[in-house]
Structures are given as structure tokens and as C-alpha cells.
Amino acid sequence: MINFKELAKKYGTPLYLYDFNHIQDRFLELKEAFKGKKSLVCYAVKANSNLSIIKHLSTLEAGADCVSIGEVKRALLCGIPKYKIIFSGVGKRDDEISEALKEDILMINLESEGELDRVEAIAKQMQTKARISIRVNPNIDPKTHPYISTGLSHNKFGVDIEVAKRMYIRAKNSENLDPIGVHFHIGSQLTELEPIIESSQIVSDLVRSLKALKIDIKFFDIGGGIGIRYSHENTIDVKSYVDGIFSTLKGLDVTVVCEPGRFIVGNSGFFLTKVLYEKTNGDKRFVIVDGAMNDLIRPSLYKAHHDIKLLSDELNHSKADIVGPVCESGDFFAKNIDFPKTTHDDLIVVHSAGAYGSSMASNYNTRGKVAEVGVLNGEDFLIRKRDSFEDMIKNELECLG
């Protein structure tokens, strides 16, 4: 049991806390579901890019799914072997492509014909052969929030099957490209298995047709997206997930790669914030806390639900908005929820904050990024210092005056 009050006192608030045992258990649960099957679990670094978290997963033999050269460097720094690192994303700069080639990572995931041209040209300049995969858009509705849905043809991600085929043929005939993988990722926070399996079937049919063209795909990357429980959502059983994927791969000898982010870290994380004061405007009650949208933007950006609990025995409840100090009406953690009466310095815990919390934080309103703490086997340790004012301004130059 994590002692929130003690840790808030020790490290101050706002604060991110992560249960490293939970992270470990989730990763091992997924590894276990893949047991005996050719597979590679690549942690999606974007979900939480803290070095200590990546390092912890690296010791458990995770690979890494990265979307910028910065994330690739984080993965390498944390000891993830280069042959377990994938570089995805709809737009990569030339310098990112050449650096990824220099680092000799497992593969670069292409998302357009234009990108194939660039990777081929850069590999040629470097006199090397780029290992690539192609992200296919299976045009399947993942049944999740539209902002985190990525597998429909009106989304910017991936290419249509027919375009992918054309790209594979070009890559096969190129001296500087080695097409070894196929990739799809239909969305995040998926709570239904069916769209994933349907997509897997479509993409495995593509792999079969490529085989007939003597293009031998070795890595079948099913993306990330396994949802977690924020309140009462259904969740996907990982054993059925793995078995369902493999049921679509009959006759194919491929390594299945998956890229979970939220599933691994989402429910490991807690955001701790203190009550500054309460006020009422008309008959509307606000609880104003020291954390804000710049620390955890999911409620503002997606109207995402996070369970929010006050650590007190107060029984007197009424409706309230839980809001931060940032100068935006959209700066809230919850709206119109039943919440106990609070007093100055009461501690509030925002649950399921491990994924896309700290990694999406900003310095908006010149608010420092908060401290982060890990807890493993009952021991707590600082994994990120709180920003000082100097940290926030250190890259700015005073050019005028």
C-alpha cells in the first residue's frame, strides 16, 4: 500500500507517484500471454518517457516503440538493445532518419510513399540498407475516442493496403531498403477485441499476398492500444488478445511485436495535488487545487475521466468542479462531481495517471513540471526533480535591450 500522505509530505505537491511493482506485473502479464510464441513487447515510450521507468522495463527485457529520435535516444540510454527498438511516426525529419540508421535500430516504420523516398535516399547516401516496416491503415473503427482513433482512412496515420503493396514492391527492388515488417495500430484505450482481430486478419492477408511476391515479412507489429480501467470500462483479456492475433496468422512464420503504453503504466500512476481553497460563484462550487492542466491535460483535452479521491474522513458532500490555477476555463480535473467538503492543504489523489500524464505536461503559465517518485517493494525514490524557475528559463535568450 502506498502511503500517499507521507509521500506528499516528503516530496511536496503536485507530485506524480508510480508503483513500479504494478508496472512490472503488467509487463510480465503480457509476456506470459505470449509465452512460447515468437514475440517482442516494445514499450510505447510516449506513454511515460521517464528514464527510470524505461530502465525498469529494460531490465525486464522490453523493447521500445519510439516516435522521435529523442525517444530512441532515451531507449538506448536506458539499455534497451538497438535490435529491439522501432521508430514510428507520421513525419520524420531527415536528421532523425539518418540518426536512426546510424544507430542501426531494428526498423523504421514508414507511413507514406514520401517517407519511403526519403529513407531510401538517405540510406543510399549513407551506403546502407534500411530495415523498414510499413504502417497499414486497415480502415477499421476501433470504437474509442475520436482523438485517439487512428485506424480509419480519414485519420492521418498509415497507408491503404494497395499503397502499402506498391511500397513493398518498390522496397524489395531497392538496393537500400529491406522490407522486414508490417505494422498497424488502430487506436488507443481499446476496450473491444474484435476490431483488433479484424485488423489483424486484413493485415495478415496482406502478408500472405506479399509472400506470393517473394517478399518475406518477419515482424508482424500489432501496435499498442490495450485499454485500462479508468472507472468501469470493460477491459481486454490479454490471453484472448494474443490467441486472437495468432489465430489470424496461420501458415505464417512471423515474430509478433506489440507496443503497449497505457496498459503497462496507466494504472501504476497517481497524481497528488493539494487543496488551495474552495469558493462558490453563484451556486457553483469550485475546489481549487495546486495541480493543473499543464501537469495532467487528459481531462481538459479529451474530457477523460480519472477517479479523484479526497484523503479525509469528511462526510459532508456536494457537487463541485475540481479545478487548477491555470488561466483557462478548460483547466479542470473533474466537473460537477459529488465531492466532500475540503479545507486548505487537504490531499487529493487523481488515479490512473501513469500514462500520458507527465509525458504530456508543459510549462504553461510558467509552472514548473512536477516531481516524480517511484515506489518499488515499499521503497520510494525520486525519479524526476521538480523544475526550478531557472530550469524553466535556461534555454531562453534575452536579445532585446
- Among 51, 90, 126, 148, the residue binding ligand LLP under the rule CB under 6 A is 148
Under rule CB under 6 A, residue 294 binds ligand LLP: no
Under rule CB under 6 A, residue 137 binds ligand LLP: no
Could you give the angle at which helices 20-33 and 51-59 cross, rounded to 10 degrees?
40
The label of the residue with cell 487545487 reads: 289
Of 202, 206, 176, which is closest to residue 97 (Cα–Cα)? Answer: 176
Report the distance separating Cα 235 and Cα 55, nearest Å: 27
x-marked contacts with ligand LLP along 210-249 as a string, rule CB under 6 A? -------------xxxx-----------------------
Nearer to ligand LLP, 87 or 246 (CB): 87
Q: Which of residues 87-126 bind ligand LLP (CB under 6 A)?
A: 88
Q: Which of residues 352-371 bind ligand LLP (CB under 6 A)?
A: 355-356
Nearer to ligand LLP, 261 or 269 (CB): 261
Under rule CB under 6 A, residue 65 binds ligand LLP: yes
Report the distance separating Cα 38 and Cα 70, nearest Å: 28
Residue 55 in contact with residue 79, Cβ under 8 Å? Answer: yes
Nearer to ligand LLP, 74 or 274 (CB): 74
User: How far from 355 is each of 222, 269, 340, CA to CA, in Å?
Assistant: 19, 7, 27
Q: How far is the CB of 122 from ligand LLP (least distance, A)?
A: 22
- Among 195, 260, 299, 368, the residue binding ligand LLP under the rule CB under 6 A is 260
Which residues participate in catalysis according to the annotation? 327
Report the distance separating Cα 58 and Cα 112, nearest Å: 30
Of 274, 285, 284, which is closest to residue 325 (Cα–Cα)? Answer: 274
Task: Give 369's DSSP letter.
Answer: P
Stretch that binds ligand LLP, among 32-40, 258-266, 330-338, 392-400 (CB under 6 A): 258-266
Under rule CB under 6 A, residue 188 binds ligand LLP: yes
Stretch that binds ligand LLP, among 242-250, 255-263, 284-292, 323-331 (CB under 6 A): 255-263
Nearer to ligand LLP, 163 or 288 (CB): 163
Q: In sequence order, what E strands does 32-147 have?
A: 39-44, 63-66, 85-87, 107-110, 130-135
User: How far from 338 is each of 318, 368, 391, CA to CA, in Å?
Assistant: 5, 30, 38
Can you give the binding site for ligand LLP, defined by CB under 6 A? 44, 47, 65, 88, 148, 185, 188-189, 223-226, 259-263, 298, 355-356
